[in-house]
């Protein structure tokens, strides 16, 4: 019986397991998420997570279902008018997936933030929707203190935003779309060279000739080239061109796929040794000076740094997998094994270094699993860290050159304009106790007032030059605080995608403030 | 309690956008407190596909003020849909996606009317598609997109200066997703690029060379495709492989596993076998929600004019940060689908049958088994049999007579065309001109007045 249920679950989640695997799914199922405010933005974000099998949710909202909620929130229906919104949203979410544990708290998030900060301690992550600046700043401090991830989402007319706030997020499986394979053709190790030498490129049997994998072709020809060029590999543009001709000269005919692949990959012999500047920055981070409180990730980075300086001879551990290439089966399988063996020996060296570091800082030398080290080694070139500023810091002292640049860039004009105007709206609300433009009358006065506030924000930041588009201020008042369903579904969708990346620790989350521009869709990420 | 569906308070939020004037809006935007109701009454939307995108689209459109929506999908609900297609439950497995989706949305949003169509898109008459003001696509197939695109472009008419007639433009909003990535685009046939103008955006799927599968397999996928494409046929003479039959899939898996062992290849799993054989595209709720929301918002903007519209192609990539890009692609002015139509010169004596044969041989058209219509009139229909019989007698008549003895007119021909060894349904618009027939008032060859 248990296996039937397990099979069913596997089938149900099949399309997402292909993205984040069993490990990612387990992480989602162990997560405990809190949603603040369950208007359409929050409801939609949670809906996407519940469908994907998130573990536990707690919905916090102090309001009752009103008639206008039925015009923009699919999770509420007519029968629920007058009932607590959090309760109604919870019951619909349970209908979507009964595996999720759902709770609701009928209280205004602002009050919880003000009066009961310890409420948040149990959560993995908090999704705060439709919150004003003052509450957000307080919530941010609470979450940082308790090491809880925070995702902020807001929909407002045709604009909206999503931002992550946490001290640091470290990623081993960043899974970039495009990343160069780790073949080490520029720096082959003895076993790989030795195997390549057993294959004679001048063989006349056309079947064997066209089934020699390009890795072997390039290693042999690079060595031959180096012998004829004082031990140097092709480096200038002309030399690289000559090297290609050199490869071509070894073809039996122009249709040999393996040689075409060799030509296309010939640049790989000329890659400069060593690690990328991104990785260099990580291994030089002060967090690599580890102590007993350091996270496993940073212990691994410390080991990586030692590895690169010692047995790696400037290179990180080998990834170990090779792409498909034209080859005989036999040759390809042998190559695979050679790469795997090197990756395993690199991994063993890393394991030893990890043990030594753990001993040094006074932790159990076996505290970090082999599987963790192996996964780290496999992804060593792709590890990524994201650090986020305090929201208050961004608001009081944003990165001015960046802000200035965006204000002057036409492609950013709506996005950055909305960024300033969303802050202006909050200030307007703090002064007037209501959002600008919620009533149909007196719109022109509201526009002038909002503009004054927005200009004030810019000049407080010392930006007296740029002005905001009058049309955009008018739009902001026209929106009158409306939470449009498609905009909320978009923003909620983005927020849930970020939550998935944060919880599964896979892929790279958003690094700045995502500003939605529903006018022409030129949304932008502002890193302020 | 008063009827909630007609209570204007319900639509407080969307009415702000539709009732109030703005300066960054569409050219023909006429804000009014009744605009939402007018759209609800007048606008008819067709949603093609009731899957991951379709479910979201129906919800998004219904909560944007649209009240007359049709949805078409030939598929039934499967367990693997439930991680994202939020209108479906476990007990719905096996039922029509279109029917269940329509019912669920109507149940929750009173006042909206959704008509489901549980059939193939090709099963509908071309005229069916002309009844809609806008078509929104939630598809995962290139062929289906291409078909709907050709249908919508088929309605487009040009004036004598080759300018598209605005009232014949049938807007399409198209969305698609794969994992954390997706796209949305707006197609205004005749004004912005149609699906065929930018067909290169969807490169054909790479296939493994047969000799690799048969002689030098190297990866798990090679072993699987060997079992699927070669071994199955060798063993099961004449029995078609059915990817939805678990026994068939199990057989392919075990054969692939045997082959992998034979060659020392690792990595064949049942899940990978399914993925390779069915070409499964990973899909998650959040990306579908994002892309559908963008499409629904564009549909509302196109119909109401309440803001600028996307111009014209939007991509979303969430794998590394949240990256959005908008590209303003240009039309292919020689496009066979959205252009003014391929010019075909005929003698007045050419019969309909000769014309149909010519369509198959024409270098730019290549349309076999064509059904032919002119101004909504069926001249010859290959199917259904009843229509075929009714129109068969036309085959021997001169096309000139069948078209009402005009010097030139537009003809629509639908049939199959072969591209890269693959047959696809398509619709072609043709400008038929008869040689030696004097053209009256609309002649393009003579200058008017003087």
DSSP string, B429-445: EEEEEETT----TT-SS
Quote the number of domains for chain B.
Answer: 3
Query: Do A488 and A479 contact (CB within 8 A), yes or no?
Result: no
Q: Which of residues 34-63 of B touch A (CB under 8 A)?
A: 56, 59-60, 63
Element containing residue A223 per DSSP (H, E): helix A214-228
Residue range A313-335: mean pLDDT, rounded: 96
- The whole-angstrom distance between residue A526's C-alpha and the CA centroid of its chain comes to 15
Topology given in CATH for the domain delimited by A2-174+485-526: Rossmann fold (3.40.50)
* Residues of chain A with C-beta less than 8 angstroms from the C-beta of B184: 521
Whether A177 and chain B come into contact, CB under 8 Å, resolves to yes
Q: Which tokens is A328 given?
A: 């005989």
Tens of pLDDT, residue by residue over A225-254, are 999 999 999 999 999 999 999 999 999 999
Residue range A53-66: mean pLDDT, rounded: 97
Task: Based on the fold, state whether residues B73 and B131 are members of the same structural domain.
Answer: yes
Domain membership of residue B405 (yes or no) is: yes
The residue behind tokens 């129906």 is B58
Task: Based on the fold, state whether residues B152 and B10 are members of the same structural domain.
Answer: yes
Residue range A433-447: mean pLDDT, rounded: 92
Closest approach of B24 to chain A, Cα-based (Å): 7
Task: Based on the fold, state whether residues B123 and B191 are members of the same structural domain.
Answer: yes
Element containing residue A364 per DSSP (H, E): none
Q: Do B180 and A19 touch (CB under 8 A)?
A: yes
Say what the pLDDT of residue A197 is.
95
Whether A292 and chain B come into contact, CB under 8 Å, resolves to no
CATH number at residue B158: 3.40.50.720
Task: Based on the fold, state whether residues B269 and B291 are members of the same structural domain.
Answer: no
Closest partner residue to A332 (CB to CB) among B56, B218, B307 is B218
Residue range A316-324: mean pLDDT, rounded: 96
Domain membership of residue B335 (yes or no) is: no
Burial of residue B176 (CB within 10 Å: 0-12, 13-18, 19+) is buried
Which residue in chain B is spatially nearest to A493 when comparing CA positions? B286
Residue range A10-27: mean pLDDT, rounded: 96
- The whole-angstrom distance between residue A104's C-alpha and the CA centroid of its chain comes to 29
Q: What is the distance between the alpha carbons of residues A235 and A271, in angstroms, rounded to a whole number?
A: 9
The residue behind tokens 């009714």 is B390
What is the four-CA torsion angle of B422, B423, B426, B431, rounded to 10 degrees?
90
Q: What is the distance between the alpha carbons of residues B247 and A42, in angstroms, rounded to a whole number?
A: 43
- pTM value? 0.92
Examine the residue annotation and report whether B211 is marked as an active-site residue of this protein.
yes
Say what the pLDDT of residue B363 is.
81
Whether A87 and chain B come into contact, CB under 8 Å, resolves to no
Q: What is the distance between the alpha carbons of residues B182 and B314, in angstroms, rounded to a whole number?
A: 8
Answer whether residue A345 shows pLDDT above 60.
Answer: yes
Task: Based on the fold, state whether residues B356 and B232 are members of the same structural domain.
Answer: no
Q: What are the start-end ranges of the H helices in B318-351? A: none
Whether A492 and chain B come into contact, CB under 8 Å, resolves to yes
Q: Domain residues of chain A, as ranges?
A: 2-174+485-526, 190-269, 277-325+344-385, 395-479
Residue A105's alpha-carbon distances to A35, A44, A108, A148, in angstroms, are 10, 18, 9, 19
Question: What's phi and psi for B439, nearest 5 deg?
Answer: -100, 135
Answer whether residue A386 shows pLDDT above 70.
Answer: yes
Q: Which of residues 312-341 of A touch B (CB under 8 A)?
A: 324-329, 332-333
C-beta atoms surrounding A4 within 10 Å: 8
pLDDT tens by residue, chain B, 450 residues? 456 777 889 999 999 999 999 999 999 999 999 999 999 999 999 999 999 999 999 999 999 999 999 999 999 999 999 999 999 999 999 999 999 999 999 999 999 999 999 999 999 999 999 999 999 999 999 999 999 999 999 899 888 778 899 999 999 999 999 999 999 999 999 999 999 999 888 887 788 999 999 999 999 999 999 999 999 999 998 899 999 999 999 999 999 999 999 999 999 999 999 999 999 999 999 999 999 999 999 999 999 999 999 999 999 999 999 999 999 999 987 788 898 878 889 999 999 999 999 998 888 788 888 999 888 789 999 988 888 999 999 999 999 999 989 888 888 888 888 766 677 787 888 889 898 887 654 444 433 333
Q: What is the distance between the alpha carbons of residues B408 and B400, in angstroms, rounded to a whole number?
A: 9
SS3 A464: coil
Answer whether residue A1 shows pLDDT above 80.
Answer: no
Task: Based on the fold, state whether residues B266 and B394 are members of the same structural domain.
Answer: no
List beta partners, residue A173.
Answer: A506
Burial of residue B105 (CB within 10 Å: 0-12, 13-18, 19+) is buried
Q: Do B16 and A157 touch (CB under 8 A)?
A: yes
Q: What are the start-end ranges of the H helices in A251-328? A: 257-264, 277-283, 296-309
Query: Do B315 and B182 contact (CB within 8 A), yes or no?
Result: yes
Using pLDDT thresholds of 50, 70 and 90, give the confidence band for residue A152.
very high
Task: Name the catalytic one among B55, B211, B295, B306.
Answer: B211
Closest approach of A68 to chain B, Cα-based (Å): 4
Domain membership of residue B194 (yes or no) is: yes
Which residue in chain B is spatially nearest to A13 when comparing CA positions? B83
Distant-in-sequence, close-in-space partners of B179: CB < 8 Å, separation ≥ 6: A19, B281, B282, B283, B284, B287, B319
Sign of the dihedral through C-alpha A492, A497, A498, A503: positive
Which residue in chain A is spatially nearest to B180 when comparing CA positions? A497
Domain membership of residue B445 (yes or no) is: no
Closest partner residue to A327 (CB to CB) among B20, B216, B283 is B216
Closest partner residue to B23 (CB to CB) among A474, A520, A523 is A474
Task: Based on the fold, state whether residues B102 and B138 are members of the same structural domain.
Answer: yes
Q: Do B16 and A471 touch (CB under 8 A)?
A: no
Whether A206 and chain B come into contact, CB under 8 Å, resolves to no
Q: Do A11 and B10 touch (CB under 8 A)?
A: no
Q: Which tokens is B183 given?
A: 């796209």
**Range in A193-207, A458-472, B241-255 with the lowest mean pLDDT:** A458-472
The residue behind tokens 């529903």 is A518
Q: Do A490 and B83 touch (CB under 8 A)?
A: no
Task: Based on the fold, state whether residues B383 and B315 are members of the same structural domain.
Answer: no
Which residue in chain B is spatially nearest to A44 when comparing CA positions? B289
* Residues of chain B with C-beta less than 8 angstroms from the C-beta of A333: 218, 263-265
CATH number at residue B420: 3.10.290.20
Task: Based on the fold, state whether residues B145 and B108 are members of the same structural domain.
Answer: yes
Say what the pLDDT of residue B440 is.
53
Task: Based on the fold, state whether residues B241 and B124 are members of the same structural domain.
Answer: no
The domain in which residue B318 lies consists of 4-203+283-327
Domain membership of residue B107 (yes or no) is: yes
Distant-in-sequence, close-in-space partners of B203: CB < 8 Å, separation ≥ 6: none
Q: Do B17 and A157 touch (CB under 8 A)?
A: yes
Domain membership of residue B446 (yes or no) is: no
Element containing residue A251 per DSSP (H, E): none
Domain membership of residue B181 (yes or no) is: yes
Task: Based on the fold, state whether residues B288 and B234 are members of the same structural domain.
Answer: no
* Percent of chain A that is helix, strand, coil (3-state, to 5): 55, 10, 35
Task: Based on the fold, state whether residues B189 and B107 are members of the same structural domain.
Answer: yes
Say what the pLDDT of residue B2 is.
52
Q: Which of residues 372-401 of B touch A (CB under 8 A)?
A: none
List beta partners, residue B177.
Answer: B182
Residue range A42-49: mean pLDDT, rounded: 98
Domain membership of residue B443 (yes or no) is: no
CATH number at residue B235: 1.10.10.520
What is the four-CA torsion angle of A402, A407, A413, A417, rounded to 10 degrees?
90
Whether B246 and chain A come into contact, CB under 8 Å, resolves to no
Element containing residue B120 per DSSP (H, E): none
Question: What's phi and psi for A229, nearest 5 deg?
Answer: -130, 50
Q: How many CB pairs under 8 A join A and B?
A: 248
């Amino acid at each position: 019986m248990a296996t039937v249920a397990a099979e069913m679950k596997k089938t149900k989640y099949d399309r997402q397991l292909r993205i984040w695997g069993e490990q990612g799914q387990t992480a989602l199922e162990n997560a405990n998420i809190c949603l603040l405010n369950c208007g359409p933005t929050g409801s939609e974000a949670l809906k996407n997570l519940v469908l994907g099998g998130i573990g536990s949710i707690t919905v916090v909202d102090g309001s009752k279902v009103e008639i206008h909620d039925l015009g923009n929130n699919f999770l509420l229906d007519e029968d629920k008018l007058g009932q607590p919104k959090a309760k109604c949203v919870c019951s619909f979410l349970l209908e979507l997936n009964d595996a999720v544990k759902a709770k609701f708290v009928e209280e205004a998030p602002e009050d919880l933030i003000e009066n009961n900060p310890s409420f948040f301690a149990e959560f993995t992550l908090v999704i705060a929707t439709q919150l004003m600046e003052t509450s957000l700043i307080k919530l941010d401090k609470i979450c940082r203190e308790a090491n809880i991830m925070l995702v902020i989402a807001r929909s407002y007319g045709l604009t909206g935003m999503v931002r992550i706030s946490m001290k640091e997020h470290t990623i081993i499986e960043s899974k970039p779309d495009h990343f160069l394979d780790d073949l080490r053709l520029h720096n082959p190790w003895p076993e790989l060279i030795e195997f390549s030498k057993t294959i004679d490129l001048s063989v006349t049997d056309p079947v064997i000739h066209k089934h020699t994998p390009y890795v072997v072709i390039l290693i042999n020809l690079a060595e031959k080239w180096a012998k004829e060029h004082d031990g140097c590999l092709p480096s200038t543009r002309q030399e690289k061109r000559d090297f290609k001709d050199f490869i071509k000269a070894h073809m039996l005919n122009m249709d040999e796929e393996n040689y075409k692949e060799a030509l296309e990959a010939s640049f790989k012999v000329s890659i400069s040794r060593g690690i990328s500047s991104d990785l260099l920055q990580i291994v030089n981070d002060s967090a690599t000076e580890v102590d007993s409180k350091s996270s496993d990730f940073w212990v691994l980075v410390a080991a990586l740094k030692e590895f690169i300086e010692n047995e790696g001879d400037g290179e990180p551990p080998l990834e170990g997998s090779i792409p498909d290439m034209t080859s005989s089966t036999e040759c390809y399988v042998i190559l695979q094994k050679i790469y795997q063996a090197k990756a395993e020996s690199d991994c063993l060296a890393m394991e030893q270094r990890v043990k030594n570091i753990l001993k040094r800082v006074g932790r159990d030398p076996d505290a970090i699993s082999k599987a963790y080290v192996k996964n780290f080694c496999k992804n060593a070139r792709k590890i990524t860290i994201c650090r986020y500023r305090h929201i208050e810091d961004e608001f009081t002292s944003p990165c001015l050159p960046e802000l200035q640049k965006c204000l002057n860039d036409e492609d950013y004009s709506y996005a950055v304009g909305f960024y300033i105007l969303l802050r202006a709206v909050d200030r307007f609300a703090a002064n007037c106790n209501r959002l600008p433009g919620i009533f149909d009358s007196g719109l022109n006065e509201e526009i002038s007032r909002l503009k004054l506030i927005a200009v004030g924000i810019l000049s407080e930041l010392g930006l007296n030059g740029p002005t905001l588009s009058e049309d955009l201020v008018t739009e902001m008042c026209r929106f009158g605080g409306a939470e449009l369903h498609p905009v909320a579904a978009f923003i909620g969708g983005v927020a849930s995608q970020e939550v998935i990346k944060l919880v599964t620790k896979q892929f790279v989350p958003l690094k700045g403030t995502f500003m939605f521009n529903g006018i022409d869709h030129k949304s932008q990420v502002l890193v302020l | 309690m008063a009827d909630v569906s007609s209570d204007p308070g319900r639509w407080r939020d969307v009415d702000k956008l539709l009732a109030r004037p703005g300066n960054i809006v569409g050219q023909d935007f006429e804000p009014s407190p009744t605009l939402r109701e007018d759209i609800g009454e007048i606008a008819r939307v067709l949603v093609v596909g009731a899957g991951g995108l379709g479910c979201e689209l129906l919800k998004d459109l219904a909560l944007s003020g649209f009240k007359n929506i049709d949805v078409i999908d030939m598929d039934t609900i499967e367990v693997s849909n439930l991680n994202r297609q939020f209108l479906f439950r476990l007990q719905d497995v096996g039922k029509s996606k279109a029917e269940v989706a329509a019912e669920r949305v109507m149940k929750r949003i009173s006042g909206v009317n959704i008509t489901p169509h549980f059939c193939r898109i090709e099963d509908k008459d071309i005229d069916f598609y002309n009844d809609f003001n806008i078509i929104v696509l939630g598809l995962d197939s290139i062929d289906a997109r291409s078909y709907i695109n050709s249908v919508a472009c088929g309605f487009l008419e040009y004036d004598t200066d080759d300018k598209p007639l605005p009232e014949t433009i049938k807007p399409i909003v198209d969305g698609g997703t794969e994992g954390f990535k997706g796209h949305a685009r707006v197609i205004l046939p005749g004004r912005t690029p149609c699906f065929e103008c930018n067909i290169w955006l969807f490169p054909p799927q790479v296939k493994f060379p047969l000799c690799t599968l048969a002689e030098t397999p190297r990866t798990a996928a090679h072993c699987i495709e060997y079992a699927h494409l070669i071994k199955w046929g060798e063993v099961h003479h004449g029995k078609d492989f059915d990817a939805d039959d678990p026994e068939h899939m199990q057989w392919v898996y075990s054969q692939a596993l045997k082959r992998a062992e034979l060659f020392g290849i690792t990595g064949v799993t049942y899940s990978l076998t399914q993925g390779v054989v069915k070409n499964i595209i990973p899909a998650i709720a959040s990306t579908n929600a994002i892309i559908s929301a963008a499409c629904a918002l564009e549909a509302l903007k196109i119909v109401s004019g309440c803001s600028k519209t996307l111009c014209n192609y939007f991509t979303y990539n969430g794998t590394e940060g949240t990256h959005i890009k908008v590209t303003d692609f240009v039309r292919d002015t020689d496009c066979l689908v959205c252009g003014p139509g391929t010019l075909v010169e005929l003698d007045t004596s050419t019969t309909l049958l000769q014309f149909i044969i010519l369509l198959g041989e024409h270098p730019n058209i290549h349309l076999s088994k064509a059904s032919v219509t002119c101004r909504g009139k069926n001249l010859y229909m290959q199917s259904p049999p009843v229509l075929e019989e009714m129109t068969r007698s036309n085959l021997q008549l001169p096309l000139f007579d069948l078209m009402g003895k005009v010097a030139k007119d537009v003809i629509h021909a639908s049939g199959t065309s072969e591209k890269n060894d693959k047959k696809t349904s398509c619709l072609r618009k043709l400008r038929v001109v008869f040689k030696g027939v004097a053209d009256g008032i609309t002649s393009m060859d003579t200058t008017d007045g003087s």
